[in-house]
Structure 1
Amino acid sequence: MSTSRGGENGTVMVTQEGAHERGASVDVDVPSLSRIYDRLLGGGHNFASDRVTAAAIMALVPHYDAFVRESRAFVRRAVLHMLTAGIEQFLDLGAGLGGVRHVHELAQAEQPQARVVYVDRDPVAVAGLELVVREDDPSTGVIEADLRHVEEVLDHAVTTRLLDLTRPVGVVVGSVLHCLPDAEDPAATLAGYHERLAPGSLLAASHADGIVLGLETAAAVEDCLAKAGITFVHRNRRQFADLLGPWQPHPDGVAPIGLWRPDGLTLVRRECLWGNAVLAGRRPEPAERA
């Protein structure tokens, strides 16, 4: 993919002309949520169609970009907590375009031996991730795949090369489950990863909630994205918790994103309450009776 490393803010830019060089063609006139998020984060991996939709969302919900930043901040905190719990390998599902720091940069700064696999179905997101991950990197890899295809993700050559699925894995699902409607059974997807991963694995997930945002405003955001061909489903705290299935939430449970293990005693802005977050675990199998 053709790229430029000299964007206005020093960001890595993906050119429209280079968008078709990957195996899967990219229709630059069709927005994607990962690129819309990238625009809201001030990144350069987006096209005019993404910028138009991002502007429309900001017109509906001023400071929506602050909510997206809070969602990325949750991922940072969750990764650090998983490292503290002894997790040294990570699977970032629907990884998107990262934001300020990518999972492998966070993890390997604390644990140089940490291994990370990124998964995304957007070819532009994959190309963006590949710009920050060397092709021969022995500890980090990128997969172009749909997170709903559990077997494809976990049996992929990159995954089997980098991750030992007999040991605990930290699964990151940041701001992506709300892209899956109930008809696609996101709970079954999460249960599929729970079934395949080792006891002691952890799941860090976040999800948009329309309650504090306001149901009418949330519906307007969903409609705006639907017109761009993007599925977006706000779920309240209980509905989000229901998606976790066999994953067992840690004692702090499902909490507003800005209140989930914050870095310090800071004033929580309203935008920090527009979504929820959770850290959940796969418990050890009960010992068989003799």
Structure 2
Amino acid sequence: MTSRGGENNTVMATQEAAHEWGAPVDVDVPSLSRIYDHLLGGGHNFASDRAVADAIMALAPGYDVFVRESRAFVRRAVLHMLTAGIEQFLDLGAGLGGVRHVHELAQAEQPRACVVYVDHDPVAVAGLELIIHGADSSTGVIEADLRHVDEVLNHAVTTRLLDLTRPVGVVAGSVLHCLPDAEEVAATLAGYHDRLAPGSLLAASHADGILLGLETAAAVEDRFSKSGITFVHRSRREFADLLGPWQPHPDGVAPVGLWRPEGLALPVRECLWGNAVLAGRRKPTGRA
């Protein structure tokens, strides 16, 4: 009885917050970003999101580990970008999570770092706006579809915070598998490549159904689909094919848990349910 009461209080608090933020949201319609938020231990989610998360965990026990490892990849990639001299970041499909966000990671190492978040979920956008309130001079949020490259890059928030004549670190963590059309994904990534300055870097991760198991992967996709959520597993090769003109770094496309891991501990199998890559827009090497 206590547990049920606690859950109801959480739902009420979240609903009230959504109304206070002015976020137009149907609390009965789940969102992948809020499902991830729940799996990461965050509080920006509704009962509908938790129900889907529980169903996915029943189909693929340890899915929360995979989600956490995917976020850990983002952290490692952002830190690498900083060491490469990147001081401005574009986080596509940023969502919400119970971990440190890109601006917190980047600005802890480089106080001058600027970050623009992009998401189409109004609750995620409203939550991010509250989170970055104290850093509003160097961090901003755009409510937009990441596939609309020109809308994102020409947005007033982007032009205020990012200098597109200088390298940008693009983060696309656990979002590309929400886009069903591979050709459209490839065209989107190529669009950012062509608009950004040489020396820009792309950090991306993507779910892979091979090691998860094709039957389990299909069941996960079906469960998401029944909730109105698009989710497409792609193999390592299929993921690599999306990168187009982006040039992967020498370590190439690797399982999420094996991409430049910290420490010597062997990754658990859930760390292999997706792949990750750091790729760059090459700087000119001289005269053609």
> Scaled by the length of structure 1, what TM-score is found?
0.92
Matched, 1:86 2:93: no
Give unmatched runs, 5+ long, in structure 1: 1-6
- Per mean C-alpha deviation after superposition, the further-off stretch among 78-87 and 183-192 is 183-192
Quote the Cα distance in structure 1 between the aligned partners of 2:52 and 2:134.
33
Distance 1:135 1:144, change over 3 A: farther
Provide the secondary structure at the position in 2 that maps to 1:15: helix
Q: Which residue of 2 aligns with 1:40?
A: 39
Q: Which residue in 2 is equivalent to 1:190? A: 189
Q: How does 1:233-252 map to 2 (within 5 A)?
A: 233-252=232-251
Paired residues for 1:269-288 under 5 Å: 269-285=268-284, 287-288=286-287
- Aligned-residue offset at 1:135: 7.0
Aligned to 1:72: 71
- Secondary structure in 1 matching 2:133: coil
Whether the 8 Å CA contact 2:93–2:175 is kept in 1: the answer is yes
Encode CA deviations 1:208-234: one digit per residue, 9 max, x unaligned.
000000000000000000000000000
Other-structure match for 1:108 = 107
| 2:3 equivalent in structure 1 | none
- Asked if the contact 2:23/2:126 (under 8 Å) is kept, the reply is no
Partners of 1:267 and 1:24 in 2: how far apart?
42
SS at match of 1:127: helix
Residues 48-80 of structure 1: CA deviation (Å, up to 9, x unaligned): 110110010011011110000000000000000
Q: CA deviation at 1:18?
A: 4.1
Structure-2 residue corresponding to 1:152: 151
CA distance in 1 between counterparts of 2:123 and 2:184 reads 26
Deviations 1:133-162 (A, max 9, x none): 127721111111110110110001010000
Please give the residue correspondences for 1:108-127 in structure 2 after superposition, counting only pairs within 5 Å.
108-127=107-126
- Give the aligned partner of residue 177 of structure 1: 176
Alpha-carbon distance in 2 for matches of 1:98, 1:55:
17
Question: What is the identity, as a one-letter code, of the residue corresponding to 1:247?
Answer: W
Whether 2:231 is the aligned partner of 1:232: answer yes
Q: How far apart are the structure 1 equivalents of 2:184 and 2:117?
A: 22
**Does the 8 Å contact 2:174/2:205 carry over to 1?**
yes
Query: Any idea what the Cα deviations from partners look like across 1:70-108, whole Å, max 9, x if unmatched?
Result: 000000000000001110000000001033101011101
1:3 corresponds to: none
Q: Contact 1:19–1:28 (CA<8 Å) still a contact in 2? A: no
May I ask how many residue pairs the two structures share in their alignment?
A: 280
Q: In 1, Cα distance between the equivalents of 2:145 and 2:287?
A: 36
Q: Does 1:49 align with 2:59?
A: no
Matched position secondary structure for 1:185:
helix
How far 1:21 sits from its partner (Å)?
A: 5.5
Q: Which amino acid aligns with 1:240?
A: F
Distance in 2, matches of 1:18 and 1:279, equals 36
**What letter corresponds to residue 57 of structure 1 in structure 2?**
I
Over 3 Å counting, the alpha-carbon distance change for 1:269 and 1:183 in structure 2 is closer
CA distance in structure 2 between the partners assigned to 1:196 and 1:139 by the alignment = 21
**How big is the shift at 1:284?**
1.7
> What letter is aligned with 2:144?
A
Taking the aligned partners of 1:135 and 1:127, their CA distance within structure 2 comes to: 14
**Deviation of the 1:24 alpha carbon:** 6.0
Any gaps of 5 or more consecutive residues in structure 2?
A: 1-5
Alignment correspondent of 1:4: none
Q: Which amino acid aligns with 2:146?
A: L
1:108-151: CA deviation from partner (whole Å, max 9, x where unpaired): 11111111111110011111111211277211111111101101
Separation in structure 2 between the aligned mates of residue 107 and residue 59 of structure 1, nearest angstrom: 35
How far residue 23 of structure 1 moved from its aligned partner, in angstroms, is: 6.2
Q: Which amino acid aligns with 2:262?
A: D
Q: In 2, are the aligned partners of 1:260 and 1:278 still within 8 Å (CA)?
A: yes
3-state DSSP of counterpart to 1:16 = helix
Given that 2:198 and 2:284 are in contact with CA atoms closer than 8 Å, whether structure 1 keeps it comes out as yes
Which piece of structure 1 moves more, 278-287 or 17-26? 17-26
The TM-score normalised by the length of structure 2 is 0.93
| Higher mean C-alpha displacement, 92-101 vs 76-85 | 92-101
SS across alignment from 1:117: strand
- 1:168 alignment partner AA: P
Q: 1:17: Cα distance to partner?
A: 3.6
